[in-house]
A and B are shown apart, each in its own frame.
Chain A
């Protein structure tokens, strides 16, 4: 007689050893006909009503269904007759049982069987689909991804009714075991792109992954890139149009932001809404975003350079006005600019992080106290406030927030350069940025690719 690996008392002990004193481990002894059995699951991964209706009730009625519990096929017939509608599988190696349980399966075993049945009973609370918070449009779909990868995939699937759409599951995070789904259109997406990404996912050395942002950093080949090399969106319509565009999406369970690879410079100036309106207006808005990008990058540096080194470039009346405003300001233009820029960064950070209830106080402190009073007191000049405000507004024009964030850091570098060597420094900085941009590659795709196609290696 074969040694029964699946004896209920033995498995029970093993599971207790594995999960320790964890309170959510449910081990329910059962008795079917005359055999002892065990139902084991994590109560936190399911909900009791679901379990009652779908597992316990059918089992209670099992005896009516003429199932012969003595036969070797007992589990097979249980599976077919009782749990037909559920995702079930048979487990042969008891060693893997804890893994399955943590993934939301309930294990059902009967003494005398050399396999056990796993029933997918995962039923979790999740946030319902809401409007996007970070990437709004006025006209266009108002749905945003949620934290549940299943919901997210469903939202993609229902937009692309195509049997070639694939969701390939990967597990990342040595401790968190987060599911990451690689979504692409079979036959459309480039294999030369897919394979390196699969490779990266497999070799990713993360202990935990709780947002797609972490994965984005992991996929970046060089961590000192100033620009994000993966596009992220919380909008299903934007992700779907990227998928149709032969790109690859990465859906991380637990993150409402879906990644798109490869990303190019121009992607960060596109909003899905551009497609939903008259093309002339869409183009105009897009050009405006490029202008805003330049503003947010160079405006403070340009101001500092021009007022400190190149007064001859400013129209006389404007210069007169600037000079009059700076009359009696105790700091040099650079210090003043830094003061205001840092103040704005503080305000922005406080505004993002603070509890909603105290939101009012930040705007009062920011707008009234810092803006008005600082000018009134003659600590900063009006023109600086204008420049900082314009720069700040321009920084938020990009539809993807992370894009603007990195640029802000480089802006500070430009201000320093311009304060030391004037416009020459601004030009140096911009030249560096351009060289940097041309050098970025994501999985073999040049970052500036729609704008510049030149590549020494490939053109040879």
Chain B
């Protein structure tokens, strides 16, 4: 009797467990497609035009034996909300969509100027969209056109653009890493405005986009990273150049690696150093109602190229190079900060956030109009670059040196 009761109990328990989920969640992967890119543009009558990049997995790079077809296809739909447009995509599309592998979201400049809030809610609310999606702003081009670019070797645009941004960010630093969670982060950190990557399209001919593009020696259409887009309260207010972006990343310690070229003597001769380590320390305080920001960059690098022969087999040669590099970097940094203060008047550097964290009582009274405070802030920049060594050689091999 007890056994029977236990058996019934077990069956009921198992039954209850089975109730909690079910086959209706099942997606047969061979009848579904991955959604890898999302482009948002303004549509007619205030609606939103959603373009999806849908993967044709048999033609992507990870698989051998594709037939040379396009690795992805684009489908567009217009609706009042993004989610509706997406769900209704089967008006055009034959397959079930798997949204969880989305790699890149590209927002049209026109939408970004109106504000990101309109669609951010959806992507943040959805459990299928990862927080580390790359979020970019298309500059001067339709966002969906970005997804129309074919990359070689079966790479689809979503992954291609993400990889491009990733590598550019890591190697030169001309673009922020631009993850979607940064939107949420900047929303929760007072005194820091959002900075996202900006991309545009380089078109050399007016031909229709096709897979053939990726097979050309000289691709006719390329996605180009232009730098970054600065926001104020989630509205796009302007674009920063690659150089300015790099300086912003240097100040916020987000720069991974970079190479800096600087003039040696003002006669067209340059040297380049690779920055291998750096740290930027900041101090922000309010002095007589005006913020005083002091920035101290300490960097270490190595000589990557030099047009002229500075005697860097001697200490004074290194010191000379250190001085030139530091001065150049300081100039660039000052110029970028001034531009942000005068032209855009937004604090993308996070000086306000620094003040908020370190001197809460000084920040709180000005928290509402911090961007105005930033615009009139006094900024002191100190840069000290230490060159540790040269790469393989200390002198360049030039013919006249041998003759001497």
Given A308-B28, A316-B101, A316-B103, do A323 and B20 touch, yes or no (CB 8 Å)? no
How far is it, in angstroms, between the C-alpha of A308 and the C-alpha of B25 when the chains are bound? 8
B11-66 interface (Cβ within 8 A of A) = 17-18, 20-23, 25-30, 32-34, 36, 55, 57-58, 60, 62-63, 66
Interface residues contributed by chain B, number (CB under 8 Å): 30
B27 and A323 form a contact (CB under 8 A): no
Contact of A320 among B20, B28, B55 (CB under 8 A): B55
A421 and B22 form a contact (CB under 8 A): yes
A401-460 interface (Cβ within 8 A of B) = 420-422, 424-425, 428
The answer to the question of A332 belonging to the interface, with a C-beta cut-off of 8 Å to chain B, is: yes
Residues of chain A with a CB closer than 8 A to B100's CB: 311-312
Given A312-B128, A333-B28, do A421 and B34 touch, yes or no (CB 8 Å)? no
For residue B96, give the distance in angstroms from its CB to the closest CB of chain A: 10
How far is it, in angstroms, between the C-alpha of A425 and the C-alpha of B14 when the chains are bound? 10
Query: Which chain A residue has the least Cβ–Cβ distance from B19?
Result: A421
Given A320-B57, A320-B60, A424-B21, do A312 and B101 touch, yes or no (CB 8 Å)? yes
Q: Is the interface of A mostly helix, strand, loop or mixed?
A: helix
Q: Mark B101-115, 1 if CB is under 8 A from A, else 0.
A: 101000000000000
B20 and A424 form a contact (CB under 8 A): yes
Residues of chain A with a CB closer than 8 A to B62's CB: 317-318, 320-321, 324
Given A312-B128, A421-B18, do A324 and B57 touch, yes or no (CB 8 Å)? yes
A316 and B159 form a contact (CB under 8 A): yes
Contact of A323 among B23, B30, B66 (CB under 8 A): B30
The answer to the question of B98 belonging to the interface, with a C-beta cut-off of 8 Å to chain A, is: yes
Query: Which chain B residue has the least Cβ–Cβ distance from A313?
Result: B100
Contact of A420 among B18, B30, B98 (CB under 8 A): B18
Residues of chain B with a CB closer than 8 A to A317's CB: 62
For residue B51, give the distance in angstroms from its CB to the closest CB of chain A: 19
Q: Mark A294-333, 1 if CB is under 8 A from B, else 0.
A: 0000000000000111011000111111111111110011
A319 and B63 form a contact (CB under 8 A): no
B86-106 interface (Cβ within 8 A of A) = 98, 100-101, 103
A320 and B34 form a contact (CB under 8 A): yes
Residues of chain A with a CB closer than 8 A to B34's CB: 311, 316, 319-320, 323
Given A311-B98, A421-B21, A428-B17, do A324 and B27 touch, yes or no (CB 8 Å)? no
Residues of chain B with a CB closer than 8 A to A319's CB: 29, 34, 101
Given A327-B57, A327-B58, do A322 and B29 touch, yes or no (CB 8 Å)? yes
Query: Which chain B residue has the least Cβ–Cβ distance from A432?
Result: B14
How far is it, in angstroms, between the C-alpha of A333 and the C-alpha of B26 when the chains are bound? 11
How far is it, in angstroms, between the C-alpha of A318 and the C-alpha of B62 when the chains are bound? 8
B103 and A307 form a contact (CB under 8 A): no
Residues of chain A with a CB closer than 8 A to B63's CB: 320-321, 324-325
Residues of chain B with a CB closer than 8 A to A428's CB: 17
Query: Which chain A residue has the least Cβ–Cβ distance from B100?
Result: A312
For residue A328, give the distance in angstroms from its CB to the closest CB of chain B: 7
B25 and A309 form a contact (CB under 8 A): yes
For residue B4, give the distance in angstroms from its CB to the closest CB of chain A: 16
For residue B23, give the distance in angstroms from its CB to the closest CB of chain A: 6
Contact of A422 among B17, B25, B58, B66 (CB under 8 A): B25
How far is it, in angstroms, between the C-alpha of A420 and the C-alpha of B26 when the chains are bound? 8
For residue A425, give the distance in angstroms from its CB to the closest CB of chain B: 8
Residues of chain A with a CB closer than 8 A to B21's CB: 421-422, 424-425
B22 and A311 form a contact (CB under 8 A): no
A420 and B22 form a contact (CB under 8 A): yes
Given A321-B62, A421-B18, A424-B21, do A326 and B30 touch, yes or no (CB 8 Å)? yes
Query: Which chain B residue has the least Cβ–Cβ distance from A425?
Result: B21
B25 and A327 form a contact (CB under 8 A): no
B22 and A323 form a contact (CB under 8 A): no
How far is it, in angstroms, between the C-alpha of A424 and the C-alpha of B18 when the chains are bound? 9
Residues of chain B with a CB closer than 8 A to A328's CB: 30
Residues of chain A with a CB closer than 8 A to B28's CB: 308, 332-333
Q: What would 12 more interface pairs be, CB under 8 Å, given A318-B62, A329-B30?
A: A307-B29, A308-B26, A311-B27, A311-B101, A319-B34, A320-B63, A321-B57, A323-B33, A324-B66, A326-B29, A421-B17, A422-B26
- List 22 A–B pairs whose Cβ atoms lie within 8 Å, in order of A's numbering: A311-B98, A311-B100, A311-B101, A312-B98, A312-B100, A312-B101, A312-B130, A317-B62, A319-B29, A320-B34, A320-B57, A320-B60, A323-B33, A324-B57, A324-B60, A324-B62, A326-B30, A333-B28, A333-B29, A421-B17, A421-B18, A422-B25
Interface residues of B (CB under 8 A from A): 17-18, 20-23, 25-30, 32-34, 36, 55, 57-58, 60, 62-63, 66, 98, 100-101, 103, 128, 130, 159
